Amino acid sequence: MIIALLLLFMVFHNASSSSALGTNVAARPDVVNIGAIITFDSVVGKIAKLAIAIAVEDVNSDPEILNGTKLTLKMQNSRSNDFLGIVDLALQFMENDTVAIIGPQFSATARMLSHIANDLKVPLLSFSATDPTLSRVQFPFLVRTTRSDLFQMTAVADLVAFYEWRDVIAIYVDDDLGRNAIAALGDKLAEKRCRISYKVPLKPKATKDDITKALISVSSMESRILIVHIYTNWGLQMFSEAQNLMMMGSGYVWIATDWLSTILDTDHSLPFVATKDIQGVLTLRMYTPESELKTRIQSRWSNLMRGFNGSSFGLNTHGLYAYDSVWLLALAIDSFLARAGNVSFSNDSNVSDLRGGKVCIFNEGSQLVQSILEVNATGVTGPLKFNPDGDLINPAFEVINVIGTGTRTVGYWSNSSGLLVDPPEKPQRKKQSNGSSTSSQQLYSVIWPGQTTQKPRGWVFPENGKKLRIAIVSRVSYHEFVSVKGTDVTGYCVEVFRAALNELPYGVPYKFVLFGDGKVNTEPNELLHKIQTGELDGLVGDITITTSRTKLADFTQPYVESGLVVVAPIRKLNSSAWAFLRPFTPMMWGITCIFFLVVGAVVWILEHRTNKDFRGPPRKQFVTVVWFSFSTWFFSHKENTVSTLGRFVLIIWLFVVLIINSSYIASLTSILTVEQLSSPIKGIENLATGNDPIGFLNGSFAERYLTDELNIHRSRLVPLNSPEEYEKALEDGPSAGGVAAIVDERTYMELFLSVRCGYSIVGQEFTKMGWGFAFPRDSPLAADMSTALLKLSEKGDLQKIHDKWLMKSACSAQGTKQAVDRLPLKSFWGLFLLSGIACFLALLLHVIRLVHQFYRYSDSDCESSLHGRLRSFVSFVYKREQEEKKSRTKRRRTEKASNKIVHERF
């Protein structure tokens, strides 16, 4: 009986406890508890504290938002960042049936509380935790109501790429906020072929000494692009120390993330010294579009600050996002209550036992989170709507330039349009599928540190930096390019390199590192690999730029244009008794003779019936045609043309003869007056298809080109090391163990041929390449040296250096002149075609005229058979036209007389 009474008591006790711990009503509750965890004494915290309080007041004063339900706000000051202190604040809220917590303010705190929120199922709405690694997959109850640093770092990367910088230095706070944001920046820079060349992590509570040491290390770096992502409480001290170290002058670029714009927006009364330290700095600000609601809030804030006790402070973007977080939560609670209808909690006995009091789990926490993510409204900061990843849509930033005692917006960045001078809400072109914007990226001009509008180069060679290790190949031959005598290094390539360095606006300390034993040329690819691994900082010499080599290093603008050519022995062509036939090819001679005869025959046909000069016995007419045809070559024909068609054909033919005659005379003059040389090898095609051995410079890329590109068997290739070996191999020839030709670069061969007149370049240059200086990949020095080489070329200094070292002496620069090409038929086929068309048209018109005349003549002819009419037509064509007219007249008179006699008889 006693046991039964105890069980009944426990049931009623549990029921009453459950009633006391939870609320389960069908109607809307009168009050909903929300909390806020903020650091009151921070720049962001003091703004957010007031903004949240104002937002709660505005929500409760509007009966249409929660339909009678009121928000009860309780704020907690997170003075310490220790784990137990932050956890205790969160558990305190859950002892009071809190449905959501606004905050925490810092990313590290948000990460800690998110684990608790997952267990207690209470939503966290953070208005300033920007760590890009805070994922909703890991923390489903964390809702970021601000912009992730992923987008801010994308904007920074776009800025770096826009100004065509390549290397940056990142100065950041060494915690979750800094490390993860800079990691995101590195990824975004890599997408644009940029990089973070040096990272400077600082402790979250960095001292003045820590900052000074970090900046001193930065000053010794080559890059002058500094990205600063730190906290607001000691951020200005960073620029103060940089000013003391002379790092805020010309040449430096400082890009601060939105922490600097937060300070500028909050404290409008910064002392002159502070603003002087940040002149020319670029910073970002989360973009909030202009609206009537924003103007009203800012006006209200200003009025509130006039009566505020203590120093006033401005409303920054974090305060606007904190204000919108309250409204976002109120709209979500309204939607949640309309759908779920109740708010209930259950006791977490495990945590309660640890704290010695009750700690509640929000039973409908998941539903409230879903309601938050489904909100679609417009707030002070713009659209309050989330994408599938849980981020607010349309992320955008302002790009701000600090000038004087104020700031100037030089452009905007949005995730959809990139960098533009117009606000993001204006219609912009959408990005293409590859991520690039179809509209050109642009910004207004910037005043950089040092009060200059010229875009900084982005890097310098530091005065206290180490000397560049520049490799020099000690050549076995062609010392005009690189010559090493002890410690003295000279030559064309070396002088061009030094002249280019003198054109740079900054000093570059360097030292030459010699390679080669003076017996065998060092393979350039070996040195390029050393550049790739960091053992060397550059390579100077006669280095040909090839596709494979550009994968190992960056090359400058070519300072010598070169390509592979074929050099072979040549022999002199002596004049002969038949030299007059050499201007034309046999085909040209044959076609010309045929056309002489054809034109003569056509003129004879056209003139035969009307011109007595083209009549007579057959033998005489044949001689006349032949004589007339070939006499037109000298314009000495005596026969006159009387018919219009004959004159038309003849004038066209005389024009053709004039062109052919002039070309023949010019070519024959060249043949008889210019020394002619010839070689059995006509070029690379002729050489590749044969079986003769081919010489090449040992260590040159020519060997790989001949085998890989032209498929010449390696057994045919003979490596040679010097011009003397070239000459001996060519003199010996294939029959005596030498080579038929040498394949090497034109620049080398011009030097070789300048004092050796028995050889020449045959055929055409069959590759187009150049020489350049090599530097490590992505080295800014490669681009600056290219600009310097262009300046040398424009001023003519490059040509002067070329003439000094590579001026030709004994023989022509082009090698000895090869035999003049014989004039082929293809050079004149147009003229022959014109003459042929004239002959055809004239013959066609002449035949039509003859047929017409014949039919007039045949009307009175008694012949009626086909054979008889054909014979009559031939006879008609052969007769002279005047004789034909007399015969026809006489015949008509005879016919009239006969008809008269017959008539008289009858």
In this prediction, residue 870 carries a pLDDT of 66
Q: Tell me the range of 143-147, 342-346, 659-663, 817-821 where mean pLDDT is highest.
A: 143-147
Does 159 share its domain with 234?
yes
Tokens 């997408």 appear where?
Answer: 191
Same domain, residue pair 731 and 790: no
Contacts with 608 (C-beta within 8 Å, 6 or more apart), sequence order: 614, 615, 621, 878
Q: Which pair of structure tokens corresponds to residue 301?
A: 């804030």
Does the structure show a pLDDT above 70 at 486? yes
Q: Where do runs of H (alpha helix) occur along 674-745?
A: 684-689, 702-704, 723-732
Listed residues 732, 762, 792: the one ending a domain = 762
Provide the CATH number for the domain around residue 217: 3.40.50.2300
Report the C-alpha gap between 574 and 302 in whole angstroms: 103
The reported pLDDT for the residue numbered 10 is: 35
Residue 13 lies in a domain: no
Last residue of a domain, which of 627, 653, 671? 671
As a whole number of angstroms, the distance between CA 684 and CA 139 comes to: 70
Same domain, 483 and 528: yes
Q: What is the mean pLDDT of residues 627-646?
A: 75
Give residues with Cβ within 8 angstroms of 28, minimum separation 6. Answer: 66, 67, 68, 69, 337, 341
Contact 771, 545 (CB under 8 A): yes
Position 225 in a domain: yes
pLDDT at 469: 92
What is the torsional sign of CA 137, 141, 142, 146?
positive
Whether residue 276 sits in one domain with residue 167: yes
Beta bridge partners of 168: 196
514 phi and psi angles, rounded to 5 deg: -85, 140
Examine the domain organization and report whether 84 and 128 are in the same domain. Answer: yes
73-113 pLDDT, tens digit each: 999 888 655 556 667 777 777 777 889 999 888 888 888 88
The answer to whether residues 381 and 317 touch, using CB atoms and an 8 Å cutoff, is: yes
> Could you tell me the CATH number of the domain that includes residue 747?
3.40.190
Across the beta sheet with 167-173, what order do the strands follow? 195-202, 167-173, 225-229, 253-256, 282-286, 396-403, 406-414, 418-420
CB count, 10 Å around CB of 435? 8
Statement to judge: residues 616 and 751 lie in one domain = no
8 A C-beta contact, residue 670 and residue 638: no
Please tell me whether residue 639 adopts helix, strand or coil conformation: coil
Q: What's the structural domain count of the chain? A: 5
Looking at 762, 791, 822, the residue that finishes a domain is 762
727, part of any domain: yes
Structure tokens at 615: 């009549």
Which amino acid is it at 259? W
Mean pLDDT of the region 521-542: 89
Contact present, 363 and 346 (Cβ < 8 Å): yes
Q: What is the pLDDT of residues 133-162, one digit of tens each?
A: 998 889 999 999 999 999 999 999 999 999
Question: Quick one: 215 and 326 in the same domain?
Answer: no
The whole-angstrom separation of Cα 168 and Cα 199 is 9
Query: Residues of the chain with pLDDT > 90: what percent?
Result: 37
Range of the domain at 591: 579-671
Report the CATH number that the domain containing residue 531 is assigned in CATH.
3.40.190.10
Give 764-781 pLDDT, tens digit per residue: 888 888 999 999 988 888
Strands (E), 626-780: 676-678, 694-697, 717-720, 741-745, 759-762, 769-771, 774-775
Per-residue pLDDT band for 24 (boundaries 50, 70, 90) equals: very low
Asked whether residue 300 is domain-assigned, the answer is no
Residue 619 belongs to some domain of the structure: yes
User: Taking phi first (over 0 means left), then psi (-120 to 50 degrees means alpha), and beta for anything else, what does residue 46 get?
Assistant: alpha
Question: What pLDDT, on a 0 to 100 scale, did the predictor assign at position 458?
Answer: 87
In a domain, 536, yes or no: yes
**Three-class SS of residue 120?**
helix
Is residue 896 scored above 70 in pLDDT? no
Residues 131 and 188 in one domain: no
- Looking at the fold, whether 42 and 117 belong to one and the same domain comes out as yes
Residues 220, 325 within the same domain: no
Three-state DSSP at 674 gives: coil
| Residue 845: inside a domain | no
By mean pLDDT, which of 32-36, 124-128, 604-608 is the weakest? 604-608
DSSP string, 805-844: HH---SS-TT-SPBPPPPBPGGGTHHHHHHHHHHHHHHHH
Are both 111 and 69 inside the same structural domain? yes
Decide: pTM greater than 0.85.
no
pLDDT in tens, 268-293: 777 766 788 899 999 999 999 999 99
The answer, yes or no, to whether the previous bond of 104 is cis (omega within 30 of 0) is yes
Q: Do residues 45 and 116 both lie within one domain?
A: yes
- pLDDT at position 899 is 57
Positive or negative, the CA dihedral 845, 848, 849, 850 is: positive
**Mean predicted confidence (pLDDT) in 677-706:** 83
Q: What is the rounded distance in angstroms from the CA atom of residue 556 to the CA atom of residue 596?
A: 61
Name the DSSP letter for residue 680: S
- Domain membership of residue 1 (yes or no) is no
pLDDT at 4 over 50: no
* Strand partners for 361: 346
DSSP single-letter state for residue 736: G
